[in-house]
Each structure stands twice: as C-alpha cells, then as structure tokens.
Amino acid sequence: MARLKDKYNSEVKEKLMKELKLDNIYAVPRVIKVAINVGVGEALVNKKAIHNVQEQIELIAGQKSVVTLARKSIAAFKIRKGVPIGVKVTLRGERMYLFLDKLINIVIPRLRDFRGILSKSIDQHGNLNIGFTEQTIFPEIEYDKIDKIRGLEITIVTTAKNIQSGKKLFEMLGIPFNKVN
C-alpha cells in the first residue's frame, strides 16, 4: 500500500542525487513529517466544535489528534490563555507516506479549478505549506455528517536545505505545481 515510499526509495533518491549533484546518499532531501492543523475559532462559543473537528481530523489522518491550547490571552479575540483553539496531528513513517499518497493521488485531483500548487508555498528551508478551504475533499469525510465546513493546513517538512531542492523533491514525489510561476 505504501507505493509512495517504495517509489521514493527506488527511483526518486537516485534521480535527486544526480539532479542536485550530491555525492552522499544521506544528503538527498527526504520528507520527515506531515503536520495537519485546523484552527477552531468558534470553540469559544461552541464547546462541541473541538470534538467534531478532532473526530474529522482523526478520520483524515488515521491517527489520534491533539487539541491545541492558546499560549497567551488576546482580548480582541476574547481568547484566554489555556483555552482550546485548534486541533493538530503530526504524521511520521508509514502513516506519513500513506497520507501523502492519498493527498497526491486522491485529494488534489478532486479539487475544482485546480491549476497546481504555487511555488511560493515552499519556504526557504524546502518545506511545503498547503491550505484547503474545506475538509470535504478528503474521501473519509461524509458531507451529511459534518456540522460546518472548515479549512485546514497541511505542512510537509523535509530535510531540504533550500527552495530549489525542496521543489525538486516534491515534483519527483508527484505533487503538481503551477506551470506559470
């Protein structure tokens, strides 16, 4: 089932090594972890919102999620320190590759009017940040059973040293980038 991991180990490593002109196999960029995060602003009013989001994220990731708490109080947003304001999951190893495989082959093709991920989504360290406006694009989420449409952020962390090597890694893994930029 972990086709992406096998693809990375067999094909991508050697190609990246040649294209980036690296001598050491351990210098080849690789994916370390995938972090999925959802901010739940209405958790201050609706206490059940955190629980609903937690269930949805656990379905998407296939792993237990963690509730994030506010680090400091912000009076303008009526947030007090220690109040639940979001849900996150960090995937590593086999689950990470399974999630990336699902993201690349199932979720991204389901997006309407998708023209590719922008190159500026990669930070200076070679990590990719993708934001989705709704959680219903994931096949595990049933539209009839959700209480509200919420967005989520996905961060793919790599060992790449710069934008170019990070982009090469993502292209070889099959992530479609916008051809314009």
Place of tokens 């296939």: 62
Say if CB 152 and CB 131 are below 8 A apart: yes
pLDDT score at 1: 45
Q: Is 78 helix (H, G, I), strand (E, B) or coil?
A: coil
Would you give per-residue pLDDT tens digits along the chain (181 residues)?
Answer: 457 666 666 677 888 888 888 888 888 888 999 999 988 877 666 778 788 888 888 888 889 989 888 777 777 777 778 777 889 999 998 899 888 888 888 888 888 777 888 888 888 988 999 888 887 788 887 777 777 788 889 999 999 888 888 888 888 888 888 876 5
Say if CB 66 and CB 53 are below 8 A apart: no
pLDDT score at 33: 94
pLDDT score at 90: 94
Helix (H) or strand (E) holding 17: helix 13-19
pLDDT score at 151: 83
pLDDT score at 181: 52
pLDDT score at 32: 93
**Check: CATH 3.30.1440.10 for 3-43+52-64+89-173?**
yes
Listed in sequence order, the DSSP H helices in 21-162 are 48-61, 93-102, 108-110
Helix (H) or strand (E) holding 165: helix 163-173
Q: Is 35 helix (H, G, I), strand (E, B) or coil?
A: strand
